[in-house]
Amino acid sequence: MTVDDGGFTMSSYTIRDYTPGDEKSWLRCRVLGFLDTAYYDSVERVKPPISIPGFELVAAGEDGTVAGLLDVSVDGEPATIETVAVHPDHRRRGLGRALLAEATARAAATSATTLDAWTRDDPDTLTWHRAMGFAESDHYLHVYANAYTDDAEPKRAIAERRPDLRPVVLFLHARLAEEERLRKEFARVHVCRRFAQPL
């Protein structure tokens, strides 16, 4: 597809399948695509795989750089958009619309009869979904308990049993003496250390 930038240039993009060679560019596009949204701190360092019959689409610029991406998983019914992002420098050029059109056609060829997209309360993203014909229905909350925001939040979340709150991600501090035990229990453990030098 060719897009009139409104200036002296015309930009061409290709909607195609993701290939392993796109990974670095895909990850960068995702980070920057999410940076000004309600998913700003959702960062992947390795492309999450999508298994067949799901699919992974990208909108690639003339030099092959990923300018937009859309992943769909198909696990019975419905098909679900796992990730959609257009790089901020390439927005409002129809890339999101073109990616979705291709995704809709491909999803329709699977067993799925519905295309779901779960997203947060980011105004521009909501506007796009509505403009693309999605109808809004079920809602639930994403809640972060962050001591760097308010020291009391994590304690408030887990100090007592709260059946109304389901833990999904917790960020915890522990003593170095617990390292061996905690590394057996948790996949991601970092040793945070102080560096200092005299002034």
Ligand X SMILES: CC(C)(COP(=O)(O)OP(=O)(O)OC[C@H]1O[C@@H](n2cnc3c(N)ncnc32)[C@H](O)[C@@H]1OP(=O)(O)O)[C@@H](O)C(=O)NCCC(=O)NCCS
Provide the binding-site residues for ligand X, judged by CB under 6 A: 33-34, 37, 39, 83-86, 91-97, 119, 122, 124-125, 127-128, 131
Q: Residue 60 CB, nearest distance to ligand X (Å)? A: 14
Please state the length of the chain: 199
State which residue has the least CB distance to ligand X: 96
Rg (CA), the chain: 21
Q: Which is nearer to ligand X, 106 or 129 (CB)?
A: 129
Q: Which is nearer to ligand X, 40 or 186 (CB)?
A: 40
The β-bridge relationship of strands 115-117 and 79-86 is parallel
Within the chain, strands assigned E span 2-4, 10-12, 14-17, 55-60, 66-74, 79-86, 115-117
Q: Which is nearer to ligand X, 118 or 186 (CB)?
A: 118
Q: Residue 123 CB, nearest distance to ligand X (Å)? A: 8
What would the two tokens of residue 174 be? Answer: 């522990």
Q: Which is nearer to ligand X, 36 or 150 (CB)?
A: 36
Q: Residue 149 CB, nearest distance to ligand X (Å)? A: 21
Q: How far is CA 58 from CA 46, 74, 166, in A?
A: 16, 17, 34
17-46 per-residue burial string, b: 16 or more CB within 10 A, e: under 16: ebeeebeebbbebbbebbeebebeeeeeee
Q: Which is nearer to ligand X, 33 or 154 (CB)?
A: 33
Residue 153 main-chain phi, psi, to 5 deg: -60, -50
Q: Residue 164 CB, nearest distance to ligand X (Å)? A: 25
Q: Residue 70 CB, nearest distance to ligand X (Å)? A: 8
